[in-house]
Amino acid sequence: MNVILITGMPGSGKTLFANVLKEKGFYIISMGDVLRKRYEKDAKIGERMMDFAKRIREIYGDGVVARLSMEEITPNMGRVAFEGVRSLAEVDEFKRLGSPIIIAIHSPPSIRYERMMARMRSDDSKSVSDLRRRDLDEIKLGIGGVIALADYMIINDSTIDEFKKRAEEVILRIIK
């Protein structure tokens, strides 16, 4: 099984990269979607998703979201990418599947904040100060270590077409 782990700060372009992988025949498992399903079922009333994520990690360990995400794998998936890896503990969990390749997507904070304010996903922060706080929460979870150990880094600071071009170049190197 070919396994790709996609990491990056919120709003960096992880989903866009995942969509390019999907076009190349990869199955995509969004760790955020896996966590959202669990959140809808088990969150305390009024609990923020980030607080829920911290709480289940305290209870079940730092690799819990990776373990829940791996439950989504089916036997017919030859190439799979996990979008939203947040910690080295999650990377270690994914190593049970083989030798995953880590791809980090990077965008400057100002660009990421602009994107998130425009998309307004249910778990997105509503102000720049909240977005900065979310960044710090992500860093505390350990995302910086995953980004630092990435096999490939794609900078997403231009147009969608330019980013897709950069993404395809990296994907071609991986699947050869």
What confidence tens digit (pLDDT) does each residue in 116-140 have?
877 776 666 677 788 888 888 889 8
Nearest Cα to Cα of residue 85 among 16, 152, 141: 141
Nearest Cα to Cα of residue 154 among 29, 33, 20, 1: 20
Domain 2-175 -> CATH class: alpha beta
pLDDT band at 96 (very low <50, low <70, confident <90, very high): very high
pLDDT band at 154 (very low <50, low <70, confident <90, very high): very high
Q: Which residue has the higher pLDDT, 156 or 120?
A: 156
* Distance separating alpha carbons of residues 66 and 90, to the nearest angstrom: 5
Average pLDDT estimate for 108-115: 87
Going from N- to C-terminal start, the domains of the chain cover 2-175
Residues of the chain with pLDDT > 70, as a percent, come to 96
Q: Where are the beta strands (DSSP E) in the chain?
A: 2-8, 27-30, 79-83, 101-106, 152-155
Nearest Cα to Cα of residue 62 among 101, 31, 20: 31
pLDDT at residue 72, rounded to an integer: 94
pLDDT at residue 76, rounded to an integer: 87
Residue 115: pLDDT over 90? no
pLDDT at residue 37, rounded to an integer: 92
Q: Which of 67-76, 86-95, 123-132 has the lowest mean pLDDT?
A: 123-132
Q: Tell me: the pLDDT tens digits for 22-69?
A: 999 999 999 999 999 999 888 898 898 888 988 999 999 999 999 999
pLDDT at residue 103, rounded to an integer: 98
Question: Can you give the length of the chain in residues?
Answer: 176
